[in-house]
Chain A
Amino acid sequence: MVTPTPDTTIDAGAEKRFFIEMLTKDIELLPAIVDLLDNSVDGARGLHPDGDLSGQWVKIEFGDGSFTISDNSGGISADIARHYAFRFGRSRDFTGVKRSVGQFGVGMKRAIFKIGRAFAVQSAHRGETGNDDSSRFHLNVDVEQWAIQNEWTFQFDSVDENIALAPDEVAGTTISVTNLHPSVQDDLNDPTIVQALRTELRVRHQESIQSGLQLYLNSDKPLTASRPSLQASDVVQPVFKEFQVTSASGGVVDVRLYAGTVAPPKREKNTDPEDDGQAENFQDPGDAGWYLFCNDRLLLVADRTPLTGWGNPAAAYHPQYRLFRGFVYLSADDASLLPWNTTKTAVDRDSPVFRAVQSEMKTTLYAVQSVINRAKQVRARVEEEDPKPEFLVAMDETPDRPISSLLTSSQMVTPAPPPPKPKAPPTPKVQRIQYVVDPDRFGEVAEALGASSGSEVGRLTFDYFYDQEIG
């Protein structure tokens, strides 16, 4: 008799509903939308290795129960769509875009699931030659239905391959999400959330916007981004260090670190920083702190926590540091070397690359704080009638310049603060005594002492008594 081989296989498959729920649980709506934008920006950067994104655009529109993001970032080829773009998690053999933001291969799908229960993707991809190597596809997915089917696949509704795109046809991708989750629908109707989204997009992708990307949010006017700037002149030089960090695997991360101060707003130029604590002069910390970019995508915004040195080893944030700004840019061809968490909302603090950068940020913050402290001390001791020291003039009047124009400097350079005036030593306290005596007896005492004047007799007799009886 042959014993049947027992079935040794145990089912450890994933339930799709559980998978979708877990995937979207830890991301909030705004980071999810920024994540979608990351894909478009990566596409645009892939088209322009020189970094000049002029002519590239991304449009985000929502309302009427739908959410759409479209771009002219080159599109997804049918082949990439079939094998890579819709997989969950990046496949090992997928090379991706150099210096990309996308890294984990979850952003697009997770964002879509977060927003709604049905989506359509339409993409036109222009091949390298443009002749018969281009493609176009369209797919529609009902997430509820997909969740109950066993296969981990989507179906193209239409696909054209080995075609030529018309010269004026936009090569790009449009993703439309419909059947929005009720909470998302509510959020997208809330003006404050839309405002927060606008700020988030503007800030997080400020480098790409600076490089020419046109980013539209429910409007036909592109968003503008501020240009990171620090006070700089012939006499004031912020810190600017450039260095490389080598990861454990041997990959190289290029680091540019800028830190210094921004010009005080006009109205506060002559206010005494000592007034910081007073309610009427309360200063919003606002933009003060560190900004950390990974492949030009902003990860930390105005960070004033111990993560970037505040309170360890530098002083904790105090309003006197409100003019501090630090900008750190990490870039790597291989995005996996960069210290981001999967939602790209924070850094991976355990990353050795981040630790090395963090250490530079900490010592730099400590050093810039010491300049700010000195300014405060000098301000406190300058008398009204004194001419304003060159150091304070520089700190107060030096205008901001874009950091792209700075020269490297390992220290923050300023004019030397005036030395403190040493205080005169305090005059010793004295007690004066005076008394009247018989002139004959005075003469005898003076002769015995060898003294010639009344004051001398007084002092010597006092000393004599002191030495004999007290000292």
Chain B
Amino acid sequence: MARQYEFRPAKAAQRMMIVDACRRLTAIAPLAEYQYVGFGGLEFIDFVEFHRGLGVPQMTSIERDTNMQHRLDFNKPYKSIHVLMGEAHDQLPQIDWTKLSIVWLDYTDLLTTDILRDVDYVVRSTQPGSIVIVTVNGAATKVPVPERLSNLRANLGDLVDDALTDKDMAGWGPTEVERSILQATAHAAGRQAHGLPFRQLFNFHYADDAKMLTWGGITTSTSLGRTIDTCRFEDLHFIRTGDEAFEISVPVLTEKEIAYLETELVGTATSLPQIKGIPSTDVKAFAQVYRWRVGTR
């Protein structure tokens, strides 16, 4: 099974974590009542994971590159996947939003007001109890620090806080700005459309290549708030409901090292195992992701 995404281990682990969190939706409705909406690309990896992991039967992929249609039809892992060709903002209204949904708007671009419009529309349109996830480029890779703030302002205008300075733009700084704007947009849309703000669950930082942000959460309503509490999303250590991100990094280790660490890790909550020559930060990072790591043991 040589899938391209095995070269993107953090993204793969993140996908498994999100699938894991979505299992808890069963407190709201049977998972078979959910539909999955994503940008499958040629590989449809997320479609396979969501179907295998949750059994979600109805799935729709939106694909902007209309030249790929024949290949998409060939590559679809399940015949029933419905492919909509075109830009997200034109195709999203075609979805049947009366169903509960798990929507992953998996962009590769920087966050822009166009993307925020899609997010606003989806948060408003989804039924309370639906999951909305957005991935965008974290606006920090290959952009020199002095240009980051003006870059954000060019893409997002007044939504960028006036109080920010270049000092806030180091490291994941621009990504944090993107996260707060996404959450603010969803918060307002949720409050208007459903009476309660959107509840953030995901705030992942990862960098298989470029620094990326995956943010998301659940639409709620006054009548559903309690039920969502019973999903106990917070029990999962990667759930993030605030500013602080969960950073996924998958250390490069050998099979033997992995086997040893896993053997020693489980059940020994007090101290982390050690291997000579491997920094303890790598061991710690491994401990955070090993259950969702994709690949052989």
Contacts and interface: CB of A to CB of B under 8 A. Distances in A.
A370 B117 contact: no
B127 to A, nearest CB: 13
A422 B90 contact: no
Contact of B120 (A313, A420, A422): A313
B67 A423 contact: yes
B28 interface: no
Contacts of B120: 312-313, 362
B182 to A, nearest CB: 13
A362 B123 CA distance: 12
Interface in A366-419: 366-367, 370-371, 373-374, 377, 410-411, 419
Dominant secondary structure at the A interface? helix
Contacts of B117: 312-315, 366
Interface residues of B, number: 27
A422 B67 CA distance: 5
Given A313-B189, A359-B193, A411 B69 contact: no
Contacts of A313: 116-121, 124, 189
A422 to B, nearest CB: 5
Given A313-B117, A367-B93, A362 B69 contact: no
B89 to A, nearest CB: 7
Contact of A377 (B86, B89, B92, B192): B86
Contact of A370 (B70, B85, B93, B192): B93
Interface string B174-213: 0000000000000001011101000000000000000000
Contacts of A422: 66-70
B85 A419 contact: yes
Interface residues of A, number: 23
A363 B98 CA distance: 13
Contact of B124 (A362, A373, A410, A419): A362
Contacts, number: 63
Contacts of B91: 370
A140 interface: no
A358 interface: yes
Contact of A356 (B68, B85, B86, B192): B192
B130 interface: no
Contact of B69 (A312, A359, A374, A420): A420
Contacts of B92: 366, 370
Considering residues A313, A373, A374, A423, which has the most beta carbons from chain B within 10 angstroms of its beta carbon?
A: A313
B189 A420 contact: no
A423 B71 CA distance: 12
B220 interface: no
B125 interface: yes
A48 interface: no
B116 A355 contact: no
Considering residues B68, B70, B116, B117, which has the most beta carbons from chain A within 10 angstroms of its beta carbon?
A: B117
A370 B90 contact: yes
Question: Which 7 residue pairs of A and B lie closest in terms of their CB atoms, listed nearest first?
Answer: A313-B120, A367-B93, A359-B193, A313-B117, A420-B66, A359-B192, A370-B93
Interface of B: 66-70, 85-86, 89-94, 98, 116-121, 124-125, 189, 191-193, 195
Interface of A: 312-315, 355-356, 358-359, 362-363, 366-367, 370-371, 373-374, 377, 410-411, 419-420, 422-423
